[in-house]
A = this chain, B = another copy of it.
């Protein structure tokens, strides 16, 4: 292990057991206020429905909880600690002011059913965000209800289906490029469509002739990610849209990669009929270890009648209101109005940026991806040389010769103080290294990343075993995922 990184150093770090292992009867972190009404006889009130014992729940004090979760937290990597180059995930800076405004009392404590008269603040937020997102996407109408990208896909395809259904035929299938994210086919299945794969061409884009061949009146929509998961802008988007539209189909855009487009080009302008956004990617709401997200779906006018309900409308008295009377609506996809807290954060992000900031953000995101690409070209195999937008996908082809796979390189990157890139897809690149720096990285951090990646490539040549055994600097070494799945232990049990 002669290679050293300038990025990280090992440091003493606290161990911590399961919270259950710290429990002891009589410890408590809670105290209730004095009861200002008479005590009740629970047995009398509940009868046999009374619960006698809540099970093996922990009994611990407040300081133990603070330490428990503080210690646990120090075992995590995070954007706040460094570059998080997960392709397709857009791990950008999560501004703290977003967290502050989301916690303002009226917003944090607003009940979803409180009278509209005293909900004008929340409604104004919905409305303002809606207007911004429509302007950004170039679309005509939007629903904020979906709770994540995949949920947005569901709402979007439901609208696609409702649209076709209203025309008399819901159609049978959805075309999905082989480079697509797993949620695309999974969603299509949930909406009762069969999935038909669309091959990419040697430039990593939709093969227009294949599309032409596969497109027919059975196809409800093409689900396209643009830029696609190779980070490549579908340059023939106009032709693609025309082919789809010519047969009465709809163009669905997975907006996961909107970070490459905001302020520079609008999907609504290049023929998209339905698209979802990921507020937790493009619009800076935090990933929080896996969620929550928010997946608004924007549509063209023709699909507006099918939006999930309710929608926000202007009333004649100048106030805002929810409109439920939407006979053609696909219905609800979630209770209440969606992940409202994420709307607050996304809007705060938009306001902090303004038109100039959003454009600069997009430019920096694309600039960064190209810088990384330049830095690693030749060191790692670049299966598609088509220009990159906000991310770049390499393959482990050169390293695989030494038996080192993308996941090994990823694990070794941890020792260099970085979170790995995405390894799981796109499936069209075997052994993919999918790298998205986002605009949030400065030159210094990227230089360190490139240096680390080059160093690993050298290690593969000189001492592959070090890479295969990585990580070496973490509190646990490589974990056995196979064993975990073979005999799942999914909860703690008392000894």
Contacts and interface: CB of A to CB of B under 8 A. Distances in A.
Interface in A416-444: 417, 440, 442, 444
A81 B71 contact: yes
Interface stretch (A6-14, A337-345, A455-463): A6-14
Contacts of A249: none
A447 interface: no
Contact of A81 (B22, B70, B78, B81): B70
Residue of A11, A78, A352, A442 with most chain B CB atoms under a 10 A cut-off: A11
Given A67-B82, A93-B62, A12 B22 contact: no
A322 interface: no
Contacts of A31: 352
B7 A10 contact: no
Residue of A7, A63, A66, A444 with most chain B CB atoms under a 10 A cut-off: A63
B62 A70 contact: no
A80 B442 CA distance: 31
A31 B474 CA distance: 39
A374 interface: no
Given A15-B417, A70-B80, A444-B22, A473 B64 contact: no
Nearest to A63: B93
A95 interface: yes
Nearest to A21: B444
Contacts of A66: 80, 93, 96
Contact of A74 (B11, B93, B352): B11
Interface in A431-487: 440, 442, 444, 471, 473-475
Contacts of A440: 63
A14 B74 contact: no
A140 interface: no
A414 interface: yes
Contacts of A80: 66-67, 70
Contact of A14 (B63, B70, B75, B81): B81
B63 A11 contact: no
Contacts of A61: 442
A259 to B, nearest CB: 15
Nearest to A64: B442
Contacts of A363: none
A415 B12 contact: yes
Contact of A11 (B82, B442, B475): B475
Contacts of A444: 22
Contact of A471 (B12, B67, B71, B414): B12
Interface in A342-396: 352
A11 B64 contact: no
Contact of A12 (B10, B64, B442): B10
Interface in A90-147: 93, 95-96
A13 B9 contact: yes
Contacts of A96: 62, 66
Residue of A7, A8, A95, A414 with most chain B CB atoms under a 10 A cut-off: A8
Interface of A: 6-15, 22, 31, 61-64, 66-67, 70-71, 74-75, 78, 80-82, 93, 95-96, 352, 414-415, 417, 440, 442, 444, 471, 473-475
6 contacts: A8-B14, A9-B15, A9-B475, A10-B473, A31-B352, A71-B82
- Nearest 3 pairs of A and B residues by beta carbon: A11-B13, A63-B93, A10-B10
Given A8-B13, A22-B442, A71-B81, 16 more contacts: A7-B14, A9-B13, A10-B475, A12-B414, A12-B471, A12-B473, A12-B474, A22-B444, A62-B95, A63-B93, A64-B442, A67-B80, A67-B81, A70-B81, A71-B82, A74-B74
